[in-house]
Amino acid sequence: MNDESVNQTSYTDPAVFADIAQRSQRLVSDFMTRHAAEMHEKAVDPANIGGAFLEMTARLMADPAKLMQAQMSLWQDYLSLWQTTASRMMGQDTDPVIEPEKGDRRFRDPAWNENQVFDYMKQSYLLTSRWLEDVVGEVEGLDDKTSRKVEFYTRQLTEALSPTNFALTNPEVLRATADSNGENLVKGLQNLLEDFERGDGKLRISMTDEDAFEVGANIAVTPGKVVYRNALMELIQYEPTTDKVKSTPLMIIPPWINKFYILDLRPENSFIKWAVDQGHTVFVISWVNPDAELAAKGFDDYMLEGPLEALQAIETATGEREVNVIGYCIGGTLLASAMAYVEACDDDNHRGRIASATYFTTMLDFSEAGDLGVFIDEEQLADLERKMDQRGYLEGAEMSGTFNVMRSSDLIWSFVINNYLLGKEPFPFDLLYWNGDNTRMPAAMHSFYLRKMYLENKLVEPGGIELAGVPIDLGTIKVPNYMVSTRDDHIAPWKSTYAATSIFKGPMRFVLAASGHIAGVVNPPVKQKYCYWTNTKKIKDPDKWFDGATSHDGSWWPDWEKWVGKYSGKSVKARIPGDSGLKALEPAPGSYVKKEFL
């Protein structure tokens, strides 16, 4: 018996289907038991999606002439499609009525263009989805919040209804089904059940082969030592790779929404290793993955026990009072808040410690929060706070799910097709492994962050936010600033991050990198990928800034290194972690990054 027949037998064996049935029954039973008690307590529609669409429908129906015009426009588009399809079936060359947008990877299979039926199906879908999104987007009289919510969930609907997401309308799936006698669908069902089991009754889509990676073994492997620890963070100092180093140390504040090793995935794409190789003495904060015991930890606790305590520890370790600091995403928000706090509380113990501040994709003005703002209003926050009060934290998978929905075609439906319809195993990918390595959010911190910054946008108001009892003002920050944002960022839209250029009083260099929130930042020079834009003129309007910007090929990392070099001091003997005022507690990447929960 050859390998192919063995494989076919394994998937057509009645025992396989019996196992699927048994596991399915258990999952359904567990789901009903677990959720029956809490269903009556939950708001049926905490996001008020139904109310938003009802209001949109009422506004739409109030102008029947405009609705009729939109319907006629769709009919004319369909008529053109029918005519071009008929001409093509008779052997004529025709131009498509509509084509996928640049970067839309759903219709890459040749059959979507070569086969007349699938080409018609594709164009019909694109015409209908474009029409629906245009009609919804042109409804007048809706407030901004409702309009964005309707547009966002309409886009989710159109992406979900793509013909690529269904077995009978996806040519690649149909070929795989015919070639394997349906084994792909059986294997896909098994993958689906495994993902439900892995998510304890909730669908947790496998995006990568999680067995292919281990933190500290083949990712997060830059040599270093944990030299300081408190309840919220471990401070890692990395071993030098040069005989001499810059006298001013470098501290990185990563986001605590995910784990720090996004900047240390593998040696070839590790920003941390690259910075070490440039002669920086690099320190990184590794945040703890909190449980209910840390429920009361607030944003000000993260500030006091995070960067401010770390700065003192770095002085003990190196003898240097001044430090260059990088903040990534919410880590940058914390960095700016901490500097404003230091200015406001007039504490000489903390003053003068930051030589320069660098921000990676950081929001400070939240007035234009992009798609993430759809998930933040009073009703949704109240529901979220109710959940967090019960547990003491926000589960990491819930936060990750929100980010995935914002890019559902790439981070949801592509894996539905690969894992469940094609029956394939996900490809090993370090970035997606990190993306699934979720962290929790303490209830007090997360509620403060969402309310005071996203909902009320108080951070940019002088005195609008108090930290540790002290009103802060970002306008008091005078240190040199380097801000890098990314053009395709769906989490921190670059035009929103650009607002910081008008807030700080110190010198500012704003750099716009190509790609998105992660790939635009984690872009080592050796790859020669993407590009970035600079403009030395101080311009308030981001569009005008971009119009006058100069494009540069490759990574922005060397540009930052040239900039930060001006604030990095003289050359000194390389520092070995644990050989000075702070003892080495354990090897990098430490314990906090590996903390998991059952």
Note the pLDDT tens digit of each residue in 443-479.
Answer: 999 999 999 999 999 999 999 999 999 999 999 999 9
Is residue 460 located within the same domain as residue 582? yes
125-129, 302-306, 369-373: lowest mean pLDDT where? 369-373
The string of pLDDT tens digits covering residues 9-23 is 455 566 665 666 666
> At a CB cut-off of 8 Å and minimum separation 6, what does 318 contact?
249, 281, 575, 580
Tokens of 272: 């941390």
User: Does the pLDDT at position 488 exceed 90?
Assistant: yes
Q: How confident is the model at residue 40 (pLDDT cuts 50, 70, 90)?
A: very low
Q: Name residue 158's amino acid.
A: T
Q: How confident is the model at residue 254 (pLDDT cuts 50, 70, 90)?
A: very high
Separation between Cα atoms, residue 183 and residue 196, nearest integer Å: 20
User: Does the pLDDT at position 27 exceed 60?
Assistant: no
Q: Name residue 372's amino acid.
A: L
> At a CB cut-off of 8 Å and minimum separation 6, what does 164 contact?
106, 107, 170, 413, 417
* pTM, full prediction: 0.90
Residue 407 located in a structural domain: no
Q: Give the pLDDT score at 284.
A: 98
> At a CB cut-off of 8 Å and minimum separation 6, what does 171 contact?
109, 111, 112, 115, 118
Residue 458 located in a structural domain: yes
User: Does the pLDDT at position 50 exceed 90?
Assistant: no
Residue 184 located in a structural domain: no
Assess whether 531 carries a catalytic annotation: no
Residue 397 located in a structural domain: no
Is residue 445 located within the same domain as residue 338? yes
Is residue 139 located within the same domain as residue 253? no
Cis before 589 (ω within 30)? yes
99-128: burial string, b at 16+ Cβ within 10 Å, e else: ebeeeeebbebebbeeeeebbbbbbbbbbe
Query: What CATH number is associated with residue 486?
Result: 3.40.50.1820
> At a CB cut-off of 8 Å and minimum separation 6, what does 296 contact?
442, 443, 444
Phi, psi of 573 (to 5 degrees): -65, 140
| CA proximity to 264, closest of 192, 320, 215, 310 | 215
Residue 556 located in a structural domain: yes
Q: Give the pLDDT score at 99.
A: 95
Is residue 319 located within the same domain as residue 466? yes
Per the CB < 8 A criterion, the answer to whether 255 and 335 are in contact is no
Is residue 452 located within the same domain as residue 565? yes
Question: Which of 122, 146, 165 is at the close of a domain?
Answer: 165
Is residue 146 located within the same domain as residue 243? no
Q: Which of 173, 313, 329, 491 is catalytic?
A: 329
Across the chain, mean pLDDT equals 90
| Count of the separate structural domains present in the chain | 2
% of the chain at pLDDT higher than 70 = 92
Average pLDDT over residues 468-496: 96
Is residue 308 located within the same domain as residue 228? yes
Q: Give the pLDDT score at 2.
A: 42
Q: Give the pLDDT score at 586.
A: 97
Average pLDDT over residues 182-189: 92
Per the CB < 8 A criterion, the answer to whether 550 and 222 are in contact is no
Q: Give the pLDDT score at 28.
A: 58
Which range in 54-63, 302-311, 588-597 is most confidently predicted, on average pLDDT?
302-311
Distance of CA 532 to the CA centre of its chain: 20
Distinct helix (H) and strand (E) counts, the chain: 22, 17
Residue 48 located in a structural domain: yes
Which range in 102-106, 221-225, 580-584 is most confidently predicted, on average pLDDT?
221-225
User: Does the pLDDT at position 6 exceed 50?
Assistant: no
The boundaries of the domain holding residue 563 are 224-375+439-594
Separation between Cα atoms, residue 107 and residue 113, nearest integer Å: 8
Residue 395 located in a structural domain: no
Separation between Cα atoms, residue 537 and residue 541, nearest integer Å: 11
